[in-house]
Structure 1
Amino acid sequence: MGVKVDYMTPDFPSLSYPNYYTLMTALEDSGLCPSDTITVGTGRHCEVHQMTGNYMWDQKANVSFDIGVNKESLLPLWWNGSEPLWVTMMKAKKNVSMYYWPGCEVEILGVRPSYCREYFSVPTDKNFADAISDALESLCNNSAEMAAVYYERIDVEGHHYGPSSQQRKNALKEVDKALSNMISLIKRKGLQNDINVLLFSDHGMTDISWADRVIELKNYINMSDTIQMKDRGPVVSLWPAPEKHAEIYQKLKAVEHMDVYNIEDIPNRFFYKKGKFVSPLTLVAEKGWFIVESRDKLPYWENGTGRKEAWQNGWHGYDNELMDMRGFFLAYGPDFRSNYRAPPIRSVDVYNIMCSLAGVQPQPNNGSWSRVECMLRNTAPLAPLPPCSSCVLALALLSLFSRQISLL
């Protein structure tokens, strides 16, 4: 029916907020739209757009970014490192509708989208279906020329029960049903020749075990010798007291099943170490291992009554080249080839194809046009396609599991 890539490699760390921005930003100086659009994109590596984690700390200002839930997370300093696609659109006088997309509630570079259905809690299946319907309507009535829909349930069930669990599979069936209804709605409205649909994720997921794959930092270092620790799991950011840096580094270097890096030693392939908020020491666990201060701080999930139900069984954030961290990308519509299996792409590439569909010149970015041009029916050197009446609907489904989506 359309295009399916073999897989999409996320940016490091393979966490949500870093890849939201990788998919949705380009350089601050230099978008979208002959088409109306539902999408996301910056096309920049994390060290360039500066959103380097779900949890960050600005030591100079002594403020924290805690996965977008604390008030300080709305400060411009976290978001102004790049210009997201929706900001570029708004600057070009193109209206943008966003549904549950993290960051749409933030004023970035002095700009907000024309409509933001803010994320407060995990959207329900009905929320997702309503968002798709409303997004299509906003494109059809010309109240928006771009829209972005974010849906998290597959990710949540994968965390709770594990990526191979029946609960996660059931969630995927519900998503598949919503997407099938979307296709039917597009056909009923006679828009199948006017809308390009893009579906993609920001990361994959792997199984974790609390029985024997936990690295407790308190067993190796005195935590009082650190100034700050951010996040837990596959990637941990650590700020040692300056006089304790060398000692802590040497002790952690001997710990099995994880790597510890001084900033200058972080592998270049991560495109991470130049980030403004990167800590003096970065700890990276082997796949399936979990780094935490102590076991009592392991993540759990709550049931509907707020009671602790169980420890989480799935996680992501590991080395982005690992197979389990791969995401997916699917697309169909008048500008895409039919029944085409495309070679692998990277999350930084998505921005370029959206700009091409939208008819705007991409801002400087880290993506590769050569990896995505094969998906289009008519290709040329990267530049805007001529204005047309088509629109683009891109949906972010935050987890891997592309093989089981039957839409394409």
Structure 2
Amino acid sequence: MRYTCIAIILCSILKNASGQYNVSGKLLVFLLDGLRYDYLNNLDTFPGFQKIVENGVKVDYLTPEFPSLSFPNYYSLMTGRYTEVHQMIANKMWDMKPNTEFSLDDPLWWNGSEPLWVTMQKLDKRVYMYYWPGCDVEILGVRPSFCEPYKPNITEKNLTDAMEHALDALNDGQADMAAVFYDKVDVIGHLFGPQSLSDELHCLDRAMKALNEKVVEKNMSDVLNIVMFSDHGMSEITNLIELDKHINLSDVFMVLDVGPVMSLWPKEEKFEEIFTALSALENMTTYRRADIPDRFNYKKGKFVSTLTLVAKPGTVITPTFQAVLDLHFQPSTSGGKHGAHGYDNELVEMRGFFVAKGPDFKSNFRAGPIRAVDAYSVMCHTLGIEPLPNNGSFDRVRAMLRESSTAVPVTQDSCLLVLIGLFTCLHVSLH
């Protein structure tokens, strides 16, 4: 009995000392779609973001998962898993057998993994979400406590109103976590290119200045962690590949997406002919599914096509010229620029952004590079919850956290090991 009591007391002490449990437990997350890692390099001209960085951490850059598209990385950020694991492998997907295309509100495409907000709800924690893609979908039978449905290209007022509502919900105890999505940086980067964002970035910075003021006004500085990240960067478009000039599109079952990465399902009898024709093109690599590089952590995904086309930097792939016109992705002949993402995720211009501040983060600290899958464990840590199995590395993010909150978490399993060890010692001493 004496050893059991010692073990229980020891586990209790360790848990109280553990970073997994010694945290504020309130988290506000921002997903700033398309905010490239270098857009805010000159922080002197962005006082809102500068205040966050001076009081928190900024990583050198965040490497997205492949493909460096939005939906795959939305889910990698919130599950800590590679695209081939969480199954959200593209912005547009197709399930061949039931002949079903991706729909934003269909749980089929979301049920491949459990995102953080679902885990929180299962733990009887309340999550409020604003404009976040998928928050209105019943994922694995669960919805967040509050969801303002996704709306593209929201205004600065939408953003600041969402921030105010989120802070009030967190401060009043209505929510344990809040998450805000903002995509205007991405929208403008696509339409006018990555060098066109000065006005929008200053607009976003005004919102961050307002956020800083509201956190102080509501006396939340010592209890609220704030994490901001993006899903990818942006690259200028300089070249176009039109597939219908090289293959007969009637020889394929399905062609999906327009951009740096494309999914193609050729008819079986035409597969080799199409593969040969596309493999001869410059500025693009054509992969059979089995030959997709392992480092992409992509090819085992349930919805991966039989051929995957990956463009070289600056190139966009389209089935027809009209398709790219409809999306305003074409290289401009009038001096204007357009932007795209989805390329090899190791491309410098695809790098994303990550900053954080709050009681669990160091102050005025510059951290080394991380990956999209690493953000998940940071959020779990600040919330004081056990992360689900994932592909991230806590070692890559440990340095940004305060020393008092980085101890290895103690679980029921580790306490059980303590008990077993003590009982073993007791058994030996009795014999």
Q: TM-score range by the shorter chain?
A: 0.7 to 0.9
Q: Distance in 2 between matches of 1:373 and 1:83?
A: 23
Cross-structure match for 2:174: 143
Q: Distance in 2 between matches of 1:273 and 1:90?
A: 31
1:15 aligned residue (69, 82, 87): 69
1:384 deviation in Å? 7.8
Cross-structure match for 2:4: none
Where in structure 1 do 4 or more consecutive aligned residues deviate above 3 Å?
299-302, 309-312, 379-382
Cross-structure match for 1:306: none
Q: What are the superposed Cα offsets for residues 75-122 of structure 1, whole Å, 9 maximum, x if unpaired?
A: 222111000101001111111100000000100000000100001332
1:234–1:318 Cα contact (<8 Å) kept: yes
Alignment of 1:50-65 (within 5 A): 50-65=87-102
Q: Distance in 2 between matches of 1:192 and 1:370?
A: 26
Q: Distance in 1 between matches of 2:283 and 2:151?
A: 36
Q: Distance in 1 between matches of 2:271 and 2:344?
A: 24
1:311 deviation in Å? 8.4
Q: Distance in 2 between matches of 1:51 and 1:384?
A: 32
1:336–1:376 Cα contact (<8 Å) kept: yes
1:233–1:291 Cα contact (<8 Å) kept: yes
1:120 aligned residue (128, 132, 151): 151
Q: Distance in 2 between matches of 1:134 and 1:13?
A: 33
Matched, 1:93 2:124: yes
1:74 deviation in Å? 2.1
Cross-structure match for 2:258: 232
Cross-structure match for 2:320: 294
One-letter code of the match for 1:199? M
Unpaired segments ≥5 residues, structure 1:
25-41, 66-71, 303-308, 386-408
Q: Distance in 2 between matches of 1:246 and 1:287?
A: 26
1:380 deviation in Å? 3.4
Cross-structure match for 2:205: 176
Q: Distance in 1 between matches of 2:290 and 2:327?
A: 36
2:254–2:266 Cα contact (<8 Å) kept: yes
1:203–1:325 Cα contact (<8 Å) kept: yes
Q: More strand per residue: 1 or 2? A: 1
Unpaired segments ≥5 residues, structure 2:
1-53, 329-333, 412-431
1:149 match: secondary structure: strand
Q: Distance in 2 between matches of 1:130 and 1:79?
A: 28
2:240–2:318 Cα contact (<8 Å) kept: yes
1:229–1:237 Cα contact (<8 Å) kept: yes
1:208 deviation in Å? 0.6
2:236–2:337 Cα contact (<8 Å) kept: no
Q: Distance in 2 between matches of 1:55 and 1:148?
A: 24
Larger Rg: 2
2:129–2:180 Cα contact (<8 Å) kept: yes
In structure 2, the CA distance between the partners of 1:155 and 1:45, relative to structure 1 (3 Å rule), is: same
2:184 aligned residue (153, 160, 164): 153
Cross-structure match for 1:5: 59
1:194 deviation in Å? 1.0
Matched, 1:105 2:105: no
1:239 deviation in Å? 0.4
In structure 2, the CA distance between the partners of 1:94 and 1:384, relative to structure 1 (3 Å rule), is: farther
TM-score w.r.t. the length of structure 1 is 0.84
Alignment of 1:317-356 (within 5 A): 317-356=342-381
Cross-structure match for 1:268: 294
1:194–1:333 Cα contact (<8 Å) kept: yes
Over the matched positions of the two proteins, sequence identity in percent amounts to 54
In structure 2, the CA distance between the partners of 1:355 and 1:261, relative to structure 1 (3 Å rule), is: same
2:194–2:236 Cα contact (<8 Å) kept: yes
Q: What are the superposed Cα offsets for residues 40-89 of structure 1, whole Å, 9 maximum, x if unpaired?
A: xx100000000000000000111101xxxxxx432222111000101001
Q: What are the superposed Cα offsets for residues 343-364 of structure 1, whole Å, 9 maximum, x if unpaired?
A: 0000000001111111111110
Q: What are the superposed Cα offsets for residues 184-210 of structure 1, whole Å, 9 maximum, x if unpaired?
A: 11111111111111111000001113x
Aligned length: 351
Alignment RMSD: 1.7
1:99–1:149 Cα contact (<8 Å) kept: yes
Q: Distance in 2 between matches of 1:145 and 1:119?
A: 21
